Every structure is written in structure tokens, then in C-alpha cells.
Structure 1
Amino acid sequence: MSRLLRFIGHRLYTTWATFWFVMPFVLTYPLQWALSRRPQWHRYLHTLNRYWSKLFIRMWGMPVEVVRKHPLPAGQPCVYVANHSSYIDIPLLFKTIPGWLNIMGKSSLAKVPIWGPIFGRAYITVDRDSAISRGRAMVQARRTLEAGRSVVIFPEGAISKTPGQQLEPFKDGAFQLAIAAGVPVVPITMPLNHRFMPDVDGLRVRYSPLAIILHEPIPTTNLTAADALALKQQVYTTIASALRPEAGGIPEPSTWRGPGPQLASPAAPSPQQPELLANRH
């Protein structure tokens, strides 16, 4: 009975969360589409997206812990560098970071029906497997910073395979960009997003507290391209320091059925098997 009640609870909460994500978008879609058509209106589109994010995160009902280790640089654009662990990373960033942001997302986001073209026109999209696309995205990001608009980049390039436990290796672009533009880097850790909506097949939503930590900005004044590697390592260490390994892993799928038959664990290889194992791999 407890398994059935938990299953029903998960389904009801998933329906509630989906409703409050979709309903405001549907109601504001004509306005979002119109604002996305002209670059000079993108500032207002971002403001609308920020209020949309604030609304549905509030309606989801879970507590959100926001930690600001240091005031953000006033009147200066920054490169915000965040770990990537969930589909809700972007809304939480929009909710938390003030000002008119540009964000670099994977090119597949622009292909999502209805919402994708709006995102593709208003923000930066990049195909990580294309050197031309990566170069074009960095040019767009540099122009964004020169116009006084901050940029958000996920340096892992994709959602982590071990969210909450370990970061994927960082790519160099965000740090080369910050140094070239002479703007601060602000590391951001989101240690719990994967507990709410993990990167899995299908839709899996679980009521779970969220947290976002904005670390102290790291200035890039007087740094050169040769310092990009050290800057990358400093940011990696900073973001990783605020992960919460005890909250690592993703929530299991819910089911109303009882546990199925246990599969036998594979036998440990014997000392006589190394050649066979090598051939299998």
C-alpha cells in the first residue's frame, strides 16, 4: 500500500509541476514569439522569462536556498560559470542572477517544438561537435560582453554523468573568453537540481529542496591567454567544493508494483580470466 501511495504522489506532483511550467508559457507564448522577433526587444523577453521562472519555481513549492558568498560586481558584465546537472539549471539561474543575461545552450534546444525557436533567437546556441559553431558562439558571447550584458556558460558542455558527485572536465572557452574580455568570472554551484528533475529518459520529477551558491567573483585583470588553464582549475575547484556528495545520484523511478526478482550479481573474475576479459573489451 505504501508503494502505491508513493507512486500516486509522484504522479500527482509531476502533473502539478508540469502544469505550472506549461500553463504560463502557453498564456504568454504570443508575446514571447513577438518579442523574440527583434533583437532590441530581447531584453524584455528575458525579463518575461525571469518572471516565468520565478512563478513556476514558486508554485512547485520546494524551498530554494540561495547563497551569495560576495556581492556581484556592480555595473560590470561577468562570465557566470555553472555546473550542469538538470533540466532546471537554466530556470534557476534566470531566477537568481540579476540583470539581462545571455546564456549559451546546446543547439538542440533551438529544435524543441514551439519554445525552441524563441530560445534560439534570444540566446546563444552551440553545437559542441562543430568547431565552426563553437567559434561563432564565442564571437557572439564576446559581443554580448562588450555590450555590457553578462553571459552564462556551462563549461562541462553537457549534463554530468554523475550529478552532485563529480564534475565533468571543463572546456577552455569560458575562461579564454573572460580573459580576452577582461571581465570577472563568477563560479556557481547548483548541488541539488538533479534530485528534482534528473536527466533521464522520460519525465521524472521529485519534490526536493534546491540550492544555488554564487561564489566570490574572480577578476581577470592583467591575466593573459597563458593563464586560462590556471583560471579553469581554480573555478573547477571552487564549484566542486560546494557539491554535496551525500545527495549524489538520481532518484529511482517510481512503481506501484512490488520489487521484482533479484538478479544474481555477476561472479568476480578469477585469476585465470584476464585474457578473456581483455578480449571482451
Structure 2
Amino acid sequence: MIKLLRKIHLFYSALIFLFFVLLFWPFFYFGTRNPKYYSFLNKARTSFSFLVTATTGIFFNFQFEKKLDKNQTYIYCANHSSNLDIIVFCLLAKGRYHFMGKEELKKNPVLGIFFKTIDIAVSRESKISSFRAFKKAGENLENGMSLIIFPEGRIDDVYPPVLQEFKNGPFRLAIDYNIPIVPVSVVNLWQFMWDNGLKYGTRPGIVDIYVHEPISTVTLAGDNADVLKDEVFKKINSKL
């Protein structure tokens, strides 16, 4: 019975998602036409994310170790266990921000419009693609756009999810550009929607998100990337 209810909720959620995609599509299209509209685009993404999750009965409890500065540029790093992780950060991040994700997202019928414009797609199998992606991310950081990245690189096949090894890229960026890193523990979202929800369905409820205190990188050198990576890994994993 529970499995059936979760499948029904998944179907209902898909319909809600499709409805709001169609409703917001003109705003998304307009916002992606020119970088000067990206602040407007992110506000549209925030509104879209709130309406989709609220209508499907999924709410977020954000706990902050320290209040974030809305005028500060950050690199947000989080564990990745659900497609809804993107929505989490559309609600959490303020001002100008962008995502970095896998190359395949360019072909996604919804996310493709973002990953061809404001967001950055990267092929981790290609060193040239990775170089270009992180170069672009560095330019965006210099221009005051916060970066949201899932350093595991993908949603793993393990269920229940276990935090996987991090890639080095975001930590080198943080040091090279003196950008503070915000570790974020998405504690229990997988219980409401793991991966794309197709295997176990979805359900409503309250998701706990723990936002750790930002880690300053001003005094770190390039060879400290592994140390920073390990520190962020431990902080995120401590709340999972």
C-alpha cells in the first residue's frame, strides 16, 4: 500500500512539475536571453521551486550554523542524492548564482535551457571540457556569481545513499579566487525522493538542510586543496 501511495505521489508531482514548467517557461526563456537578466532568472527559479515543492507537500527546514551574507559570493558544496537537490539551492542561494553539472543536462528538456546559458555543463571524462568549465566558473565568481556544485559528481547507485569521494575542482577554485566555501548537508531528502523517484516513488514531508559555517580560503595556498576537500567532506558527512 505504501509503495502504491508513493507511486501516486510521484505521478501527481510530475503533473505539478509540468504545469509550473509551462507556466514559468516564458520567464525562463526571457531570463536566459542575456546575462544581464540572470538576477531576474534566479528569482523566477526560486519562485518556481517554492511553488512546485509546496504544492506537492515537500517543505524545507534550513538550519544555519552562521547567517550567510547575501552580498557575499560563495561556492556551495553539498551531497547529492536527489534530483530535488537543485530546487534546494534555488531556495537557499541568494542574488546571482549558477550551477555546475554533468554534460548530459544540456539535453534535458527542462534543465537544458539553463545549462546552455546561465549554468555550466562539464564532461568529467574530458580534460578540455573540465578546463573550460572551471575557467568559466572562475570568471563568473570574479563577476560576483556564486557557484553551486555537487562535488561527488553524480548521484550514486548506493541506497540508502552514502557520501562518495569528492572531486578536487571546486576546492581549487575556492583557493584560486579566495571564495569562501559553504558546506551544506542535505540530510534526509533521499527519504522523500531518491534520485529521480522512479524506483521508490516520492512522498511529502519536511526535509532537513544543515548549512555549515562558511570556510574562508584567503590564507590557503593551491597545495591545500586536498586538505580543504577533506574538511568539507567531514563537515557534510557529520550531519548525514
TM-score of the aligned structures, taking structure 1 as reference length: 0.79
Structure 2 residue aligned with 1:267:
none
Amino acid at match of 2:29: W
Q: 2:32 aligns with which of 32, 36, 52?
A: 36
Shift of 1:161: 3.3
Deviations 1:119-160 (A, max 9, x none): 321211111111111111111111111011111111111113
Structure 1 residue aligned with 2:237:
240
Q: 2:209 aligns with which of 202, 208, 212?
A: 212
| Structure 1, 148-157 or 192-201: larger mean CA deviation | 192-201
| Structure 1, 83-92 or 119-128: larger mean CA deviation | 119-128
Shift of 1:170: 0.6
Q: Aligned equivalents of 1:63 and 1:118: distance in 2? A: 24
Q: 1:50 aligns with which of 35, 46, 49?
A: 46
Amino acid at match of 1:150: S
Structure 2 residue aligned with 1:224:
221
Structure 1: state its 5+ residue gaps.
244-281
Deviations 1:5-30 (A, max 9, x none): x4553343223212221111101212
1:170 correspondence with 2:166: yes
Structure 2 residue aligned with 1:254:
none
Q: Aligned equivalents of 1:181 and 1:83: distance in 2? A: 23
SS at match of 2:6: helix
Amino acid at match of 1:214: V
**CA separation of 1:231 and 1:163: change in aligned 2, threshold 3 A:** farther
1:139 correspondence with 2:126: no
Amino acid at match of 1:52: F
Q: Aligned equivalents of 1:60 and 1:112: distance in 2? A: 22
1:158 correspondence with 2:151: no
Bigger-Rg structure (1/2) = 1
Q: Aligned equivalents of 1:63 and 1:37: distance in 2? A: 31
Shift of 1:165: 4.8
Deviations 1:198-238 (A, max 9, x none): 12684632334311111011101121001111111100000
**CA separation of 1:56 and 1:201: change in aligned 2, threshold 3 A:** closer
**Would you say the 8 A contact 2:38–2:96 is kept in 1?**
no
Deviations 1:55-95 (A, max 9, x none): 11111213422111111145221111111111100001111
1:124 correspondence with 2:115: no
Q: 1:111 aligns with which of 99, 107, 113?
A: 107
**CA separation of 1:159 and 1:11: change in aligned 2, threshold 3 A:** closer
1:23 correspondence with 2:19: yes
Q: Aligned equivalents of 1:200 and 1:78: distance in 2? A: 27
Aligned 1:161-200 pairs, distance under 5 A: 161-162=157-158, 165-199=161-195
Relative contact order, higher structure (CA 8 A, sep 6+) = 2
Identical-residue share of aligned pairs (%)? 32
TM-score of the aligned structures, taking structure 2 as reference length: 0.92
Structure with the larger strand share = 2
RMSD (Å), alpha carbons: 1.9
Amino acid at match of 2:236: I
Structure 2: state its 5+ residue gaps.
none
Amino acid at match of 2:187: P
**CA separation of 1:125 and 1:194: change in aligned 2, threshold 3 A:** same
Q: Aligned equivalents of 1:189 and 1:164: distance in 2? A: 15
**Would you say the 8 A contact 2:185–2:209 is kept in 1?**
yes
Amino acid at match of 2:17: F
